[in-house]
Structure 1
Amino acid sequence: MKISVDISMYPLHEDYCQPIIDFIEAMEQHSAVSIQRNSMSTHIYGEFSDVMGAMNNEIEQVLQKLPTTVFVIKLIGTDREKVNYRGC
């Protein structure tokens, strides 16, 4: 099953930029997922098990180094780019 994830990372630390960049670059090393950088969040696309596995691994690494980091994650069970939204 394809999924799309919108993830934001908030390191509660003075030097917050570099940990975010490091996280995104680490996610980009996972060839089975597609990453789209954004100014407010990062979008991750791929098969459920690939995306969740990559996020599980990289989020754990971040939390071991910076345990006060907050992640906000939104998931949709489809390829977001293929969804046709109509007005509410």
Structure 2
Amino acid sequence: MNISVELTFSPLQNDFEEHIINFIKKLRASELTILENPLSTQVFGDYETVMKILQAEIKVAFELMDKGLLYMKIVKSDRSEYEPNF
């Protein structure tokens, strides 16, 4: 089963950019399809694979910061090819 995940990672500390960049670089190095925009990072792939990678990378990211938020939306389908038709 394929899924699409939208992530918004918000470390609540002064050096937030470093944490966001490191998190995105780890996701880029994975086998997942990644799309980025200024507000979020989108991850696409097989449910088991995506969740296994996200579980590991979120844990590492949280361990490296004092406080932070991670908003996650999960859609049951691969939306990586979505193009608006309006």
Count, aligned residues: 84
Name 1:53's counterpart in structure 2.
52
CA distance in 2, matches of 1:40, 1:73: 12
Partner SS, residue 80 of structure 1 = coil
Partner SS, residue 24 of structure 2 = helix
TM-aligned CA deviation for residue 30 of structure 1: 1.0
Name 2:35's counterpart in structure 1.
36
TM-aligned CA deviation for residue 39 of structure 1: 0.5
Q: CA RMSD in A?
A: 1.7
**Mind listing any 5+ residue stretches in structure 2 that lack a counterpart?**
none
TM-score between both structures, scaled by the size of structure 1: 0.87
TM-aligned CA deviation for residue 15 of structure 1: 1.1
Cα separation, partners in 2 of 1:80 and 1:27, compared to 1, 3 Å:
same
Displaced runs of 4 or more, over 3 A: none
CA distance in 2, matches of 1:78, 1:53: 17
Identity over the aligned pairs, expressed in percent? 28
CA distance in 1, matches of 2:25, 2:2: 22
8 Å contact from structure 2 (residues 13, 66) kept in 1 = no
Instruction: Output aligned runs, 1:7-86, within 5 Å.
Output: 7-31=7-31, 33-81=32-80
